[in-house]
Chains A and B, each alone.
Chain A
């Protein structure tokens, strides 16, 4: 959807004469009466959203301006002090920077790998059904459990991944290397896992996209004696744009909000050398018991993701304008 390109998106201004009006089926102008007619159809969804989500979201906003005791008791308003605490934290900007790296690296690499994976799974070969099913498993499994398995495999002493590296002679220490004990390697492995669990959804979206590319388009390109690489970039990739842009949008939101992977992988590491906004929210709640400050950071995070999404939607226009 494109938020900006439609007058109706503002929601505040009813149609003014002369405002751009896209034709709908009947070609007539829409008015608030139409909104009223729409209401019965939207009401169940609105009731559910308003009923369930508004109170906790409102409480988050409210808590971000309160002083909450460790016990959870409300000790009154502190204005914007909690926000000041968040911004005053010496690690705030490195954490923001790491969050950006996290989102860009995970989403970017996921897309690149998925494009390749989708090509593979789109080709006919015996056993493809099985491979497709395997690709789906990380989607079905909970992210926490997938991460736990990686963590377990990467631990020194206990993990088979470490054993594997030791057996190959890549690591000298028979106990293995502390992948999950050092900020940089733990963060890199977290990116690997995040990509791993994002692949199924992205790949399947692209696979579906590939299935809709007209066969004759590709054949026409071949007739023009274009090589496979050229065919791919000139013909196939542009056709995947729609599928890709939706997948990227959903991935951005999910990866930005993802907590379990980093929590498990970097949880034992002292300091803030592997933290993103989400693990910082977690640390404010769990270690420092500052639900108020955590709420403030959550509000900031929420604002950031909304801005990202708005910018993305404006630039990429992932959905057809309806």
Chain B
């Protein structure tokens, strides 16, 4: 058992190891694999449990996948089958050119709104999280509470005010409006989690750096940022997913079909007397995939990130 791994556990975030930033500890997971000398029976038992978990979490989405490759009439069949009898994969091609909604543009809108809103949240929440974690001043807790209050408001009732506000500002039907809305309403979680990450870093590191003559900004960016990187990743994921699926405000603020995100575009397949369910399901899958890919890329960092933020 190596020393670095043991230390890893104490009261520290992965980032707070006093090794230089950049030299990450070897992934814990690999270590567990090799070190745990578990009997084969136990491993098989775990695999079976894992399989059950896998099934439970995937089954609902299999219904979605199967639905997306059926035809409009098959999907509303009163004699349902577990598996589609014909696989109409072409639904995934034709969904991009339906008369109902310009899906490619919707995709672009969703990406732009989500990416920009996430960046904006980072830019705004990072300094606030850092400062509130590092320095004490009157009103600090008021600020933190004000931030989390935004998370408690029910969006359904706020939309009409949001619409009116952005119309007055001349930002009705723009991506900018939605970027601001998404950023404002997701600021809270990002600030809180990053706050707790910064709080987990020993102050002495800062003070030492300041003694060496580094500016406050340099301390933040060069010393702290690399250490709280997992926390930032966590904040990014949370914000991004929330923006990606935002619906209530986009519905009223964005009126041009091409400006609307996927969440709104989905509703266009719902007619008065019939609904193109194959597209509703298909577009949903297309909407889920980028987020799952994002998860895949950062899963390890996410776990590390959540650790520090919540345990500290």
Contact = CB atoms under 8 A, between A and B. Distances in A.
The short answer to whether A and B are in direct contact, CB under 8 Å, is yes
Contacts of B3: none
Given A45-B124, A55-B161, A152-B63, A30 B57 contact: no
Interface in B29-72: 29, 32-33, 36, 38, 43, 46-47, 49-51, 53-54, 57-58, 60-61, 63-64, 67
Contacts of B281: 149
Contacts of B146: 49
B150 interface: yes
Interface stretch (B85-93, B94-102, B183-191): B183-191
B150 to A, nearest CB: 5
Contact of B203 (A25, A31, A291, A294): A25
A139 B241 contact: yes
Interface string B138-165: 1111111111111111111111111011
Contacts of A224: none
B245 A143 contact: yes
A204 B29 CA distance: 15
A175 to B, nearest CB: 8
Given A3-B145, A45-B187, A58 B303 contact: no
Nearest to A239: B311
- Say what secondary structure dominates the interface of chain A: helix
Contact of A32 (B6, B57, B138, B157): B138
Given A48-B124, A242-B311, A298 B38 contact: no
B82 interface: yes
A120 B160 contact: no
Contact of B164 (A32, A59, A121, A129): A59
B53 A131 contact: yes
Nearest to A122: B32
Contact of B78 (A38, A44, A149, A157): A157
A128 B29 CA distance: 10
Interface in A97-149: 117, 120-121, 123-146, 148-149
B128 A42 contact: yes
B80 interface: yes
Q: Which of A31, A138, A149, A253 has the most C-beta atoms of chain B within 10 angstroms of its own C-beta?
A: A149
Contact of A56 (B134, B158, B244): B158
A145 B63 CA distance: 11
Nearest to A263: B156
Specify the main secondary structure of chain B where it touches its partner: helix
Given A34-B137, A149-B64, A208-B306, A215 B6 contact: yes
Given A55-B165, A213-B9, A125 B157 contact: no
A58 B80 CA distance: 49
B246 to A, nearest CB: 9
A134 B145 contact: no
B126 to A, nearest CB: 9
A177 to B, nearest CB: 14
A28 to B, nearest CB: 10
Given A137-B61, A208-B311, A209-B307, A123 B46 contact: yes
A281 B245 CA distance: 21
Contacts of A142: 244-245, 247, 263, 284, 287
Contacts of B131: 38, 41-42
A55 B147 CA distance: 15
B211 interface: no
Contacts of A242: 310-312
A217 B6 CA distance: 11
A196 B56 CA distance: 9
Given A38-B131, A145-B284, A11 B125 contact: no
A322 interface: yes
A278 B43 CA distance: 45
A37 B132 CA distance: 11
A123 B284 CA distance: 32
Interface in A289-322: 291, 294-295, 298, 301-302, 305-306, 309, 319-320, 322
A1 to B, nearest CB: 6
Nearest to B61: A137
B137 A37 contact: yes
Nearest to B188: A49
Nearest to B144: A1
A306 B149 CA distance: 8
A79 interface: no
B266 interface: yes
Contacts of A117: 53
Interface string B185-205: 101010110011001000100
Interface in A230-281: 242-243, 246-247, 250, 253, 257, 259, 278, 281
A137 B288 contact: yes
A278 B54 CA distance: 32
Given A144-B247, A212-B307, A213-B9, A1 B43 contact: no
Interface of B: 1, 6, 9-10, 13, 28-29, 32-33, 36, 38, 43, 46-47, 49-51, 53-54, 57-58, 60-61, 63-64, 67, 76-78, 80-82, 120, 123-125, 127-128, 130-162, 164-165, 180-181, 183-185, 187, 189, 191-192, 195-196, 199, 203, 207, 241, 244-245, 247, 263, 266, 277, 280-281, 284, 287-288, 291-292, 295-296, 299, 302-312
8 contacts: A53-B184, A124-B43, A142-B263, A209-B310, A216-B6, A243-B306, A282-B156, A295-B157
List 5 A-B pairs, minimum CB-CB distance, nearest first.
Answer: A56-B161, A208-B306, A34-B137, A9-B141, A52-B184
